Structure 1
Amino acid sequence: MPAKEIKELRQSGRLEEALEMAKAELEANPENIWTKRNLGWVYYEYLKVNASAESFEDFFSWLKQLVDLQFPEDEKILFDSLSFQVGKLVFALSKEEPIPVQKIKQLADLISNFHFPKPSDGYSYLLKSFHKGLKDSGYYLQFMDWWGLENLSEQDFQKEKLPTGKEIMALAEQVYIAYAKHLLPQRDMQGNVYFNREKAEEFLPHLEALGEKYPNYQYPPYFQAKLLLALGDHEDVLSALIPFARKKQNDFWVWEVLAEAVEQEPEKVFSCHCRALVCTSPEEMLVGVRQKMAEAMIQQKLYNEAKTEIERILKVKEAHGHKIPGIINQWVSQSWYAEARTLESNKSFYRQHTALAESILYSDTPEELVFVEFVNSDKSMLNFNASEEKFGFFKFDRFMKKVQPGEVLSVRLNEGAKGGRYNVLTCKKVTDDSFKSQFQKEVEGTVKIKPGANFGFIGDAFIHPSLITKYKLSDGQNFKGKIIKTYDSKKEKWGWKLI
C-alpha cells in the first residue's frame, strides 16, 4: 500500500501527486477504511492551504469532497483537526464588513455531517468562531441547537485572559446570553412579532441554573428576567432580575427593565424612570426614557418639567440629524408648551421620586420600623431605636431632606452593629402610633431636682439641663410633657428622658 508515500508527498507539499495517488488507491479498494483515510488527510491539507476568506470557494469545495467520503464516528483525530481549520476560516470571514453570513451558514450546514469529538478544545474553538460570525444573524439558534450547549467544556465556563492581561467574558456566558437574545420576541419589517414560547420556556431553567452555579456571571439573570417578561410571568421576574439590577444599578436600562416588570403599577413605573435618569449616561441613549418621562409628566400636568425633558430630546435629535417623533411635534405645538417654563434641570425632581424604585431593588429585604431618637441636621445623621436589641445611627440625606425626633421611619437595613452605624437601603416616613408608643409617651408628674444639680427627673425620666432652662423648671413643680426611650451607653441600660 502506498500510504507511506502519500503521507510523505502531502507533508512535503506535493499535494497534487498525493491526491492523484490517494484517489487511485481508493478506486482500487473503495471499502478499505485506510484508503479512505489516506485521501481524507490529503483533503485536509488542501483545507489548511485554503483556510482564508479569499479562498472560501476552494475551501468549501474540498470540505464537500471530505463530507462525501462519509467517515464513521470514530474518526476522531481527523474530525478534531478539521474543527480548527473550519474555525480558522469562520474567524477570517467574521472580520469582513459586512460579515458574509450566508457563507458561514453554508459551512455550518456542511459540517453538520461530521462527528466532532465533544466536549473538546477543537469543538469549543468551532463554537467560538461560529458564535462570532452568527450571533447577530437569524441562524444563531439553528447552529447552537446543532452544536449543543451540553457540550461546553469546563474551560468554557472560565473567563479568558488575553496576553495583555485583560479578562473577557467566559465563552459559556457569551453563548447563553446570545441564545437568550434570539429567544426574545422579534419584530419583522412588517411589524409582525415572532416568539417561540415553548422554546423560551424550555431554555429558562438552563439559564437559571447557569446563574445559580456561576453567580459571578452578571448578565444571565437579566435575560432570564427579559424572557419571563416576554412570557408574561411578572410574579417571578423580580426575583430573577433583582440580583442583576443591584450590580448594574448605575446603568439606566436596568431601571427600564424594572419598569417593565412593574408595568401594572404606574407610580412605580414613574419612579423607575426617574431613577434611570439619575444615572450618568450619554444623552443619545436616554432619549427613549426621556420621552416616556415627558408623557407621564404631561399626564400629571407637570408642564415645566415636561418641557425641560422635551427640549433635551430635541437637542439630541437635532445634533444627530435624527427624525423627531410625531408625538413630540404634537406636544410642541400645544398651548401648554408655549406657556411652560424651561427648568435648568430635572435632576432634583428625579431624586425626590426614586424611593419607590429603590424599594423594588431591595424588595427581598424586609422593611422594619425604627423610631427617631435624635437628629443632627448639620451632618444629616440620626439616632434610631428599632428594639432594645437593635439601635444605632445612619445618614438620611439620600432619602429625605428633614426628619424630626419622635418620627417613625420604615427602613431596610443592610449592615450594622448594635449601637453603631447602619447601612440603609431604603427609608421613608410612616405613621404607626402603636410602634411609636413603645418609644414615646405622655408623662405628667412632679419635677425632682436635687439641691445644686442642673438636671432632674420626672418619675424615672431624665430631664437634661437644657430642658430645665428651656421650660424654667423647678423642684416640686408639676409638669406635663413627652418622654422617649433611650439607651445609656455608660450605664449600659435603657431608660427614659424628657424631650
Structure 2
Amino acid sequence: MPATITALCQAGELAAAYQQAKAALAERPDSTFAQADMHLVAMTCIKKAMGQSDVVGTTRWLQKLAALALPAHAGRDEQLCWEIRKLLATMAKRQYPPYVEIAELLRALPTITLAPVASLGRSLLLQTALKFKEQLSAEWWAWWNFELLRPEDYVKEIFTPADTGKPMRLPALAETAYGAYAKSLIKRLTPTDKLTGAFGQSIQAEQQAETRLEAQALLPRLEELSTSHADYNWLGYYRAKLLVALGDTAAALPTLLPLVRQKSGEYWAWQLLAETLRPTDSAVALACYYRATKCNSEEMYLGKVRETLASLLHSAGHFGLAQEQLRRLAQAKEAEGKQPPYAAKQLMGQPWFAEVYPVDKTLSAALLATAETAAYGDLPWKPVALQEFIAATAEKPARVRLLPGGRNARPLTVRLKKYPWLAKETLGAPLQVRCEPVNGFEQVVQLAARPEGSPWDTRPTPRPEPSPITRDFDGLLRVQDAGFGFVNDVFVPARLISQHNWTSGQHLQGIAISQFDQKKGKDGWVLKQAKAIEQDKLSSVASPQ
C-alpha cells in the first residue's frame, strides 16, 4: 500500500509527496481532499524553506501555490498568513534584511486568492509587512482588503517601556496601514525619469491615471477616519499631502492649516505648508521653509529643508540668510561624517559664497511674520488680558492664564515656554489671540501684544483704573502647596519664590502694589519688590511686574 501524502510529508519525502498530490489533484480537481493534500505539501515545503531562512525558496513555493489556483479556504489561508508573517518578522530583526528577496516574496503574495474573512492572522501579516512598507507594490495594496480590518485594529495599543516605566500609546494598525498606503500613492503620483521615450511616458501616464483614481477613492475614507478617530494625528497630514500630489492645493489648505496650527512646533508641518503653497505663492512658501528651520528639531531632520531654503534665498538675492543655511547644513553633515548634498555643494562652490554678507535680521523677522500670517491669517483676532501666571508642577509646565472678553467667556491658557516674552508683561496687560477649536475647546494658536488696548479692558465689569497705590510690608513668607505664598496679606507669585529659592519662614521686606484680583472681584496687594533678610545680609530682588 503506497504511503499517504501526510506520511510522506512527515518523513521529509517532499518531492514524492508533491508528485502524488499533484496527480491526485489533476485527477479530481474539485475534490476538497485533493486540494487539502496539495495545500499540506505546499505548506510543508514553505515551512522547510522558512526554517532555513530561505526567502527565495519560500517565494518559489508561493508562486507554485498560486499557479495551482486552489479555491480560497479560510482555515488554510489563516495558516498561510501566520507562516509568512513569521518569516517576515524573522527577517525584520536582521541588521541587514534581504530587501530585494523580501520584495519578491511580497509581490508573490497578491497572486494567491484569500478568503474575504477578517482574522487575527491576516491582521498580523499586515502589521509585519508594514515593517517593509517601501517594498509593498501597487499590486500588494490592491490585493489587501482594508474592509477586512478587525475592530481591534482601530484601537491604539498601550506600551510601557522597561527603561522609563511610563505607558505610551502606539498608533493603531489601521492608522499605520492607511498612512502607509497614502504614502505609497503619493510616491507613485510623483513622476520619475525611469521610463523614457514615448512608450515609457505612455506607460507612466497610464499608471498615474490609475493611481489618481486610487487616491481619489482613498480621500473620503481618510477624512472619515480623521473625524471618527480624532487621535489619528497623522492621517490629516497624509490627506493634505495626497491632495497636494493630486494638484488640488485649494482643497489641501483647509485640511492642512489646522494641522499646522496644532503642530506649529514641528518642522515637517511648516515644510508641508511650504510645499503646498510653492506652486502658487513662492514668496510665502520661502517664508514657511524659513519658519520650519526655527522649530526645535534635530539638525539631522532639517537637511532637506535647509537645502531647499538656501536655494530659494539665493535665487531671491538674500545672500546672507542663504549663507547661514548652507553653513548650518554643512556643519550638520560634517557632524554625521557626511558630505553636503550635491545641490548645496554646487551653491557653496560659487564665488558669491566666498563673499561676506550680513544676516538681515529685519528680513528674518519679516519672513517669520509672513509664515505666521499664512498659517493663522484666516482666523480673527480676539482681545484678552494677562490674568495669571501659573507655576510649573511635576505634571504640567509653567502656564499663563488669559482672560477673554465677555461675562461667561472661559479663560484660555498657553505655555510660558512658547511665549517667553510674557514673563516681562504685567498682570492685566492687553493682548490678542487667534484660536482654533480642538476637541470642543478653544486652543490658542497665535498670541501677540495689543497696543491699542488698556489694562484689564476685557473684564466683564470695566472700571476706571486708579493711579498705582503702593505700601511697604515686612513679615515672614508663608509658601502654599500650589507654589505661591503670602507675607501677611501681600501675594507673592510662585515664579518669584522659585526664582529666588525662597522658603516658608523667609523674612522679606519690600513694597507691594495694589492690583485688581479678577477671581475675588476686588483689589489685593501683590509684591512689587523685596529684599530677603538673612543673617543680617540683604540681597535685593525686584519683581518683573
Query: Under TM normalisation by the shorter chain, which class is it?
Result: 0.5 to 0.7
Do residues 412 (structure 1) and 452 (structure 2) align?
no
Aligned equivalents of 1:93, 1:308: Cα separation in 2: 43
Do residues 276 (structure 1) and 296 (structure 2) align?
no
Task: Indicate if the aligned counterparts of 1:355 and 1:426 stay in contact, CA closer than 8 A.
Answer: no
Cross-structure match for 2:138: 141
Cross-structure match for 2:355: 338
**Larger Rg computed on CA atoms:** 1
Structure 2: 5+ residue stretches without partners: 163-167, 197-203, 389-398, 471-514, 524-545
Task: Quickly say closer, same or farther: Cα 1:313–1:191, change in 2 above 3 A.
Answer: farther
Cross-structure match for 1:49: 48
Cross-structure match for 1:177: 179
Aligned equivalents of 2:119, 2:310: Cα separation in 1: 54
CA-atom RMSD in angstroms = 5.1
Cross-structure match for 1:464: 467
Please list the CA deviations of residues 195-232 of structure 1 after superposition, one character each: whole Å capped at 9, or x if unmatched: 54333222211222222222222211111111122233
Cross-structure match for 2:231: 216
Residue identity matched to 2:433: V
Cross-structure match for 1:132: 131
Cross-structure match for 2:510: none
Select between 54-63 and 250-259 the one with higher mean Cα deviation: 54-63
Residue identity matched to 1:212: T
Task: Indicate if the aligned counterparts of 1:277 and 1:350 stay in contact, CA closer than 8 A.
Answer: no
Task: Indicate if the aligned counterparts of 2:261 and 2:445 stay in contact, CA closer than 8 A.
Answer: no
Task: Quickly say closer, same or farther: Cα 1:299–1:368, change in 2 above 3 A.
Answer: farther
Cross-structure match for 2:340: 322
Cross-structure match for 2:190: 186
SS in 2 for 1:37: helix
Task: Indicate if the aligned counterparts of 2:46 and 2:61 stay in contact, CA closer than 8 A.
Answer: yes
Matches within 5 A, 1:360-379: 360-361=374-375, 366-370=380-384
Deviation at 1:88, TM superposition (A): 3.2
Task: Indicate if the aligned counterparts of 1:252 and 1:276 stay in contact, CA closer than 8 A.
Answer: yes
Length, aligned pairs only: 438
Aligned equivalents of 2:65, 2:110: Cα separation in 1: 10
Residue identity matched to 2:234: Y
Structure 1: 5+ residue stretches without partners: 375-379, 416-421, 441-459, 468-485, 495-499
Deviation at 1:399, TM superposition (A): 6.4
Task: Quickly say closer, same or farther: Cα 1:23–1:221, change in 2 above 3 A.
Answer: closer
Deviation at 1:8, TM superposition (A): 5.2
Task: Quickly say closer, same or farther: Cα 1:465–1:249, change in 2 above 3 A.
Answer: closer
Do residues 225 (structure 1) and 228 (structure 2) align?
no
Task: Indicate if the aligned counterparts of 2:434 and 2:445 stay in contact, CA closer than 8 A.
Answer: yes
Task: Indicate if the aligned counterparts of 1:116 and 1:123 stay in contact, CA closer than 8 A.
Answer: no
Residue identity matched to 2:178: Y
Task: Indicate if the aligned counterparts of 2:382 and 2:434 stay in contact, CA closer than 8 A.
Answer: yes
Task: Indicate if the aligned counterparts of 1:51 and 1:59 stay in contact, CA closer than 8 A.
Answer: yes
Please list the CA deviations of residues 462-490 of structure 1 after superposition, one character each: whole Å capped at 9, or x if unmatched: 753779xxxxxxxxxxxxxxxxxx98869
Task: Quickly say closer, same or farther: Cα 1:414–1:493, change in 2 above 3 A.
Answer: farther
Task: Quickly say closer, same or farther: Cα 1:100–1:387, change in 2 above 3 A.
Answer: closer
Task: Indicate if the aligned counterparts of 2:219 and 2:239 stay in contact, CA closer than 8 A.
Answer: yes
Deviation at 1:171, TM superposition (A): 2.5
Aligned equivalents of 2:45, 2:150: Cα separation in 1: 29
Residue identity matched to 1:45: T
SS in 1 for 2:134: coil
Task: Quickly say closer, same or farther: Cα 1:426–1:302, change in 2 above 3 A.
Answer: same
Task: Quickly say closer, same or farther: Cα 1:413–1:219, change in 2 above 3 A.
Answer: closer
| Identical columns (%) | 26
Select between 163-172 and 143-152 the one with higher mean Cα deviation: 163-172
Task: Indicate if the aligned counterparts of 2:154 and 2:175 stay in contact, CA closer than 8 A.
Answer: yes
Task: Quickly say closer, same or farther: Cα 1:381–1:18, change in 2 above 3 A.
Answer: closer
Task: Quickly say closer, same or farther: Cα 1:198–1:268, change in 2 above 3 A.
Answer: same
Do residues 286 (structure 1) and 302 (structure 2) align?
yes
Select between 144-153 and 285-294 the one with higher mean Cα deviation: 285-294
Please list the CA deviations of residues 38-97 of structure 1 after superposition, one character each: whole Å capped at 9, or x if unmatched: 343233222222225654454445445544544333x33222222222333444556584
Aligned equivalents of 2:128, 2:12: Cα separation in 1: 27
Task: Indicate if the aligned counterparts of 1:275 and 1:350 stay in contact, CA closer than 8 A.
Answer: no
Task: Quickly say closer, same or farther: Cα 1:63–1:463, change in 2 above 3 A.
Answer: closer
Task: Indicate if the aligned counterparts of 2:330 and 2:339 stay in contact, CA closer than 8 A.
Answer: no
Task: Quickly say closer, same or farther: Cα 1:399–1:492, change in 2 above 3 A.
Answer: closer
Do residues 84 (structure 1) and 101 (structure 2) align?
no
Structure 2 length normalisation: TM-score? 0.62
Select between 273-282 and 172-181 the one with higher mean Cα deviation: 273-282
SS in 2 for 1:223: helix
Please list the CA deviations of residues 326-377 of structure 1 after superposition, one character each: whole Å capped at 9, or x if unmatched: 7863785239x6243479xx7x986785455445555675422358999xxx
Aligned equivalents of 2:238, 2:276: Cα separation in 1: 13
